[in-house]
Amino acid sequence: MPREVKQEPISIAEAARLIVGSRPSIVDGLRQGVINFSALAEMIKEQVMEIVGRQSVNVDSIKMALMRYAEELKSKKKLLEEQITEVIAKSILELKNDVAVLTVDQKNFIIRFDQIFKSLNSFRFLQLTQGNETFTVVTDLQSKEKIVEVVGQKSIILEIEDQSVIVIISPHQIIEVPGVIAYITDLLSTNGVNITQIISCYTDTLLIVDRKDALRAYQILENKILSLRKMLK
């Protein structure tokens, strides 16, 4: 008969982290230092008791566990922010105008891929992204006409013109540092810039935006890069 494996009892600190860790808004509040620890400890007391299997727990013990957890979160946040700052500060920008975004039926695109592939050398700009049933093609306007001609207008599910591409060329650390893209997209969204498509290609991040927003978006990103470079000096 197999021996029953005893589960290690869960501590109050572990229970508190388990409860709080499942609530992103509370975790963010702890990270930002805006949470009332006493109130939060009281709020999760019943759940902690249930998890640890006790009839009562000391609220101060929960509070201390939350305070230690908050310090860890702040320390990790500071380190991550430093890493994000370094990646963005070392990035450079490029802007490409006269771009279109096509969503193409996958079957028809694959059938005619050889024809498109033969024309690659003549394309000024081309990026392909494969979905479940479609390909998204980002290309210059002249090449767009060639693609539509090859695959046929009926294969085009969606066509967006008057787009621009902002290419962010970053150091290789961007592959390992989480939050860089989130930082960039948040920066643009808070300034009212809508991003039509985001494409990642090794250390390049391509942001497709409406042409009317392109210069402003470029300026916002450039100003941020320059300000972060000054911070690192």
Task: Using the predicted structure, report yes or no on whether residue 4 has a pLDDT greater than 70.
Answer: no
**Which sign does the torsion angle of CA 217, 218, 223, 226 carry?**
positive
Per-residue tokens: 105: 């039926």
Three-state DSSP state, 157: strand
Domain 90-232 has CATH 3.40.50.970: no
Q: What is the pLDDT of residues 163-179, one digit of tens each?
A: 999 999 999 999 999 99
Three-state DSSP state, 199: strand
In the chain, which segments carry CATH 3.30.2130.10?
90-232
Lowest mean pLDDT among 52-66, 104-118, 165-179: 104-118
In this prediction, residue 55 carries a pLDDT of 87
pTM value is: 0.78
Residues 154, 184: Cα–Cα separation, whole Å: 36
